[in-house]
Structure formats: C-alpha cells, structure tokens
Amino acid sequence: MKKLINKIKEGKLAEGNLILILIALIIILAIFSPKFLTANNIRNLVRQTSIIGVVAIGMTFVIISGGIDLSVGSILGVASIVSSMLMAGGMNIGLALLITLVISTILGVVNGIIVFDGKVPPFIATLGMMTAARGIVMLVSDARMIAGLPKSFTNFAQKTIIGLPSLFFVWLLVIIVAYIITTQTVIGRNLFAFGSNPEAARLSGINIRMLTYFIYGASGFTCAIAGILMTSRLSNGIPTAGSGYELDAIAAAVVGGASLSGGAGTIVGTVLGALLIAIIRNGGNLLGINPFILQISVGVLIVASVMIDQRRKASSK
C-alpha cells in the first residue's frame, strides 16, 4: 500500500487515476446499492475476477514485451480439457495438474518460437495458435463436457479462506510472483528493455530469444492456472472454456496502463484494470442497468483510458 501511495505521489498517474476512479466507483455503488458491499457480493465479484485476472497477468508480460497473445482463451481450454480428462481417468490430482501446467507452458513457448524463430508477427502467430489449440480441444474432447472429476478437486473452488474465495488467493499468489519478477529481477529489467527497443536490447547483450520464450511461456503457464481454476469451479472440463478471454485480458492490461507498443505496463495496473471492469459489470447488474449499456461503457472505458494515457505522455515530453 505504501508503494502505491508513493507511486501516486511520484506522478505515475496511470495507476493514480485508476485508484481514484476505483474508489469513487466503490463509494457511488455502496451508496446506491445496499447489496454491493455485502460479503456475499464481494465474494462473488472476486470469484468472477480471479480467473480472468490470472490470464491478464500473463498477458501483461506479453504486452510489455511489445507483443500480444490471442491464444490465451484456447490454451485455457486446453488446460481445462487435459486436466479433467487425466483426473477423470483416475490419475493422481497433483500429477494431472503438473502435466497440465507443462503442456500449456509448452504451447506458450511454441508461440514464442513461432514469433522469434519464425519471425511471424505475434498477432498472427497467436491467432494461429488460438484457432489450432481450440481445434485440438474439440477434437480430443469430441466437443463434450468431461464429468466425473474427484470431489477433492471440485471442492477447492468452493472453499473460502478468511471469508474470501480460494480462487482469490491463487490470483494473489500469481500477482505477487509476477510483481516480483517485473520489479525485482533481471528478467523484469530485460523485459522492459526489450519491449521498449528490441534492437537496443539485443545489442546490449540481452538474450532476446530466451526472453521471448519465457514471455510467451509465462502466458501459457498462467492460462493453465486459470484453466484449472475454472475446471474446479465448474466441476467439469469445458471445451469452450476461455472463449473470448483474450480480449478481456487485453482490456484489463490496457486499462491498467500497459502500452501495446511495448515497454510500458505494470502488474498492479493490470489488477486494477481487471477490478475496474469487473466492478462496472457487477455494480451495473446490481443497479439493474441494461447489460448492453454496461458493455458500451466498458468499450468506452478501454478507449478513453488509452486516450488519457496518450495525452499524459504527450504532455510529459
């Protein structure tokens, strides 16, 4: 918290504005809807946000590097089907989840290989992966739900710890690890350098090949976590799981101040962006606002936050 306050003071306005908007929104909703600040609603809100929130963290790595990952939803689907098929087949839960994490991470690294070694623009590479991975999911699952998962696994998502859903704590763990990587480690420094100027990064001796693999692999890894969480929450492996998540994840990162041209973005910003979008939807529902109007407002929010960001940058030059 102290860090956040310091950052606002330092004039990192992208996050500062977001925090102010979030607080204002929470106050308004608390006044107009008595249900908003109830424990039940907060649990619900957090549970809804956690899964997409995890995907958005991986997406933030990719966006900071100047790339984009459209395949997150499909890789999430792969994770859902792979984990549920293995567990329904009687495999040890821990081993099943480990295999799921490995497979999804490999799919992410394949994205990285196509982008770096194949020199295919990230948009196209991951568009291909998005389409192909979803096809694999449908083929393997025969486009059917996979039931018969062990109770101990499906119970996880229903659990609460000190009143908050278990899903939230997984998200929190991902946030903390990602925050540490981006702000404290060499990989984090190199990630920003690469996103800001790939050629300068290369000529400064940064191993940009391994970095690219890491970035897309990390995105695949977070997709696996999200896919496992979703499978637990829905008690079934769902072949269509994660459809459309790529756009929500990009929206969260962009509202949070990440720049699609690379070199800029923060984990905290993405978390705030994801929360902001979720609260608009949740609060709007509570107030009985037409969901289509909410959709329009989220669209406006995405564009407006980037426009404000551009203005801020132009004025600081």
Partner 1 sequence: MSSSALLELNQIVKSFPGVKALKGVGFSVTSGEVHGLVGENGAGKSTIIKILMGVHQKDSGSIKLEGKEVIIENVIQAGRLGLAAVYQDLNLAMDLSIGENFFIGSLPRKKNGFVNWKYIYEETEKTLNDLNIKVDPKKKISELSAAMQEMVAIAKTVHRNAKLIIFDEPTALLTNEEVEILFNIIATLKKRGVSIIYISHRLEEIFRVCDRVTIFKDGEFVDSLDVKETSEDDLINKMVGRNITEMYNIGHQKCGDEVLSVKNLSRIGHFKNISFNVHSGEIFGFFGLVGSGRTEIVRTIFGADKLSGGKMELKGRKYIPKSPIEAIKNGIGLLPENRKEQGLALALSVKHNINLSSYRDINKFSFVDKKEENKRADTYIDKMAIKTPSSRQLVINLSGGNQQKVVIGKWLCNDSSIFIFDEPTVGIDVGAKREIYILMEELAASGKAVILISSYLPEVMGIADKIAVIYEGNMMAIVDKKDFSEELILKHASGIK
Alpha-carbon span 165 to 294, nearest angstrom: 25
DSSP state of 156: G
Q: Which stretch binds partner 1 (CB under 8 A): 101-109, 164-172, 178-186, 288-296?
A: 178-186
Which stretch of DSSP H or E encloses residue 46?
A: helix 39-64
Contact present, 279 and 272 (Cβ < 8 Å): no
Contact present, 79 and 134 (Cβ < 8 Å): no
Among 186, 290, 292, 315, binds partner 1 (CB under 8 A): 186
Largest CA distance in the chain: 60
Residue 260 touches partner 1, criterion: CB under 8 A? no
Return the amino acid letter for 26.
I
Among 193, 251, 253, 255, binds partner 1 (CB under 8 A): 193
Among 189, 296, 299, 311, binds partner 1 (CB under 8 A): 189
Size of site (CB under 8 A) for partner 1: 24
Burial degree of 215 (CB within 10 A; 0-12, 13-18, 19+) = buried
Among 199, 288, 292, 314, binds partner 1 (CB under 8 A): 199
Minimum separation from the CB atom of position 184 to partner 1 (A):
5
| CB closer to partner 1 out of 28 and 180 | 180
Alpha-carbon span 108 to 280, nearest angstrom: 31
Minimum separation from the CB atom of position 215 to partner 1 (A):
16
Residue 160 touches partner 1, criterion: CB under 8 A? no
Q: Which stretch binds partner 1 (CB under 8 A): 42-50, 79-87, 201-209, 243-251?
A: 201-209
Alpha-carbon span 194 to 203, nearest angstrom: 11
DSSP state of 305: H
| CB closer to partner 1 out of 224 and 264 | 264
Q: Which stretch binds partner 1 (CB under 8 A): 26-34, 126-134, 192-200, 293-301?
A: 192-200
Alpha-carbon span 317 to 309, nearest angstrom: 13
Alpha-carbon span 214 to 67, nearest angstrom: 13
Contact present, 19 and 272 (Cβ < 8 Å): yes
Minimum separation from the CB atom of position 240 to partner 1 (A):
38
Alpha-carbon span 262 to 272, nearest angstrom: 19
| CB closer to partner 1 out of 171 and 194 | 194
Contact present, 308 and 258 (Cβ < 8 Å): no
| CB closer to partner 1 out of 38 and 185 | 185
Residue 263 touches partner 1, criterion: CB under 8 A? yes
| CB closer to partner 1 out of 152 and 185 | 185
Q: Which stretch binds partner 1 (CB under 8 A): 99-107, 111-119, 132-140, 183-191?
A: 183-191
**Residues contributing to the site for partner 1 (CB under 8 A):** 184-190, 192-193, 196-197, 199-207, 263-264, 316-317
